DNA sequence: GGGAGCATGTAATCAGTTACATGATTTT
DNA sequence: AAAATCATGTAACTGATTACATGCTCCC
């Protein structure tokens, strides 16, 4: 149940409408927890129902009109509770690793090209994270909030870096076979 | 659509019944693509329906009786096709990273303990992978199949190692705040 | 023959995805 | 006023998870 908490976090950072949230997910929180606008609208409805957020009353809540949401105290409390909750890490679930394993039984035909493609995609994603780091976290004194956000970003760069190294190794192995 | 291919791979490695597959998923393929027995039975039904696998006719197919499945040529061909298919890597989707981000807005209360717990879990998982490596891939001349399977395992150890390092960094940051 | 556990399966629910619908606003 | 696009939403479907049901085998 991470999506509601992702939305609460985004709304605490800045009250927003559904579409604004969708945009922000696309370029920020979504790097670690993606969501489509349909998911977001549905979840906003549930969160409002549950009394964790409310629509700002300023605007008329008609279809096609912007509706701004803000987090209520109950929502903020729920988020704080969730931060310290005990949740086991999810097991790895990666189709590419699975495909390598399949390649071990049916042969690695077509795999090298796919590995090269992934390599390029991960290079790009790493560049995206590094650009954000440079833009949002210039060297200097950080607040606690900034240190935590930088830590998240550093998780992203670390993961991409890992995949780059592993893909290079994998490509070398596969090219050596064919 | 990875589960059917995970099952095809497992069945090509060794024809099995539903429960045997479940067991093997728990200690081998499942490290990279987990599945419950309900998923597996349902998928076996679909794969048989689609003509990619068949139940070995030796046993009577009654409820409560073992039913062994084997992969047909169509299944093997489908698996080979899938290996070279173009599939974008999934975006990162990690609740822990999300929680750190939430901690930046509501405070890191309870987070340090959770990070320590995750550290311990990842240490254990890494130990599991290393034990498998030692048992199944002793140093020496490897066949192509072994090299590919070792590569998959190396993905697992690499990921766990990454998380260990990142968690240590995260813990140092969080402990420095409280 | 009664209970433990093995083996296969059904049903309900839920999160996520894809396709589509509709009202409002802006642009030409 | 027509077209584009912004903004919110509904509906249908798929994959994964949880809970439960049922038949078989083995062992005391």
In B, minimum Cα distance to A82 occurs at B99
Please state the separation of Cα A152 from the chain's center in Å: 10
Which of A31-40, A56-65, A163-172 shows the lowest per-residue confidence on average (mean pLDDT)? A56-65
Return the pLDDT at A172: 97
Nucleotides of C under 7 A from a protein CB: 6-11, 15-19, 22-25
As a whole number, mean pLDDT of residues B106-112 equals 96
Which of A55-69, A139-153, B13-27, B95-109 shows the lowest per-residue confidence on average (mean pLDDT)? A55-69
| Residue range A77-133, pLDDT digits in tens | 999 999 999 999 999 999 999 999 999 999 999 999 999 999 999 999 999 999 999
Return the pLDDT at B139: 81
Q: Is B142 on the interface with A (CB under 8 A)?
A: no
Return the pLDDT at A58: 53
In A, minimum Cα distance to B35 occurs at A93
As a whole number, mean pLDDT of residues A36-48 equals 93
When pLDDT is cut at 50, 70 and 90, the band that residue B1 belongs to is confident
In whole angstroms, C7 C1' to B80 CA is: 31
* pLDDT score of A149 more than 50: yes
Q: Is B73 on the interface with A (CB under 8 A)?
A: no
When pLDDT is cut at 50, 70 and 90, the band that residue A65 belongs to is low
In A, minimum Cα distance to B156 occurs at A92
Please state the separation of Cα B143 from the chain's center in Å: 22
Say yes or no: Cβ of B95 under 7 A from any atom of strand D.
Answer: no
Picking from A73, A76, A70, A46, the residue whose alpha carbon sits closest to that of residue A57 is A70
Cα–Cα distance measured from residue B70 to residue B61, given in angstroms and rounded to the nearest whole number: 14
Please enumerate in sequence order all residues whose Cβ is within 8 A of that of B128, keeping only pairs 6 or more positions apart, or say none: B31
Say if residues B139 and B69 touch (Cβ distance below 8 Å).
no
| Residue range B17-40, pLDDT digits in tens | 889 999 999 889 999 999 999 999
Measured CA distances, A115 to A118, A172, B31, B86, B89 (Å)? 5, 10, 21, 10, 10
Return the pLDDT at A56: 79
| Residue range B127-161, pLDDT digits in tens | 999 999 999 988 877 899 999 999 999 999 999 99
**Which positions 16-35 on chain A have a beta carbon less than 7 angstroms from any atom of strand D?**
17-20
Say yes or no: Cβ of B39 under 7 A from any atom of strand D.
Answer: yes
State both tokens at A26. 């696309």
Say yes or no: Cβ of B63 under 7 A from any atom of strand C.
Answer: yes
Residues forming a β-bridge with B69: B16, B55
Query: Which residues in chain A have Cβ-Cβ distances shorter than 8 Å to B141?
Result: none
Contacts 24+ apart (CB under 8 A), B156-161: B156/A92, B156/A97, B156/B31, B156/B32, B156/B125, B156/B129, B157/B126, B157/B129, B157/B130, B157/B133, B158/A162, B158/A165, B158/A166, B159/A92, B159/A162, B160/B122, B160/B125, B160/B126, B160/B129, B161/B126
Return the pLDDT at A60: 44
In whole angstroms, C3 C1' to B18 CA is: 25
| Residue range B57-105, pLDDT digits in tens | 654 444 556 688 999 999 999 999 999 999 999 999 999 999 999 999 9
Q: Is B148 on the interface with A (CB under 8 A)?
A: yes
Asked if CATH classification 2.60.40.1180 holds for the domain at A3-83, the reply, yes or no, is: no
Mutate which of A5, A87, A101, A109 to test chain B, going by most B C-beta atoms within 10 A?
A101
Return the pLDDT at A67: 81
Residues forming a β-bridge with B53: B71
State both tokens at A48. 């409002």
As a whole number, mean pLDDT of residues A62-82 equals 85
DSSP A138: -
Say if residues A75 and A66 touch (Cβ distance below 8 Å).
no
Return the pLDDT at A45: 93
Say yes or no: Cβ of B121 under 7 A from any atom of strand C.
Answer: no
């Amino acid at each position: 149940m991470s999506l509601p908490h992702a939305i609460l976090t985004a709304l605490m950072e800045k009250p927003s409408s559904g579409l604004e949230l969708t945009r922000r997910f696309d370029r920020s929180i979504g790097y670690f927890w993606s969501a489509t606008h349909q998911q977001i609208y549905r979840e906003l409805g549930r969160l409002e129902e549950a009394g964790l957020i409310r629509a700002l009353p300023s605007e008329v809540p008609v279809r096609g009109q912007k509706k701004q949401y803000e987090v209520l105290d109950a929502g903020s409390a729920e988020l704080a509770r969730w931060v310290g909750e005990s949740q086991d890490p999810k097991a790895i679930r990666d189709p590419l690793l699975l495909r390598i394993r399949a390649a071990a039984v049916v042969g690695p035909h077509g795999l090298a090209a796919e590995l090269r493609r992934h390599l390029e995609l991960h290079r790009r994603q790493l560049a995206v994270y590094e650009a954000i780091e440079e833009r949002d976290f210039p060297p200097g004194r950080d607040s606690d909030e900034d240190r935590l956000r930088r830590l998240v970003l550093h998780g992203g760069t670390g993961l991409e870096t890992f995949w780059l190294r592993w893909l290079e190794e994998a490509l070398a192995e596969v090219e050596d076979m064919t």
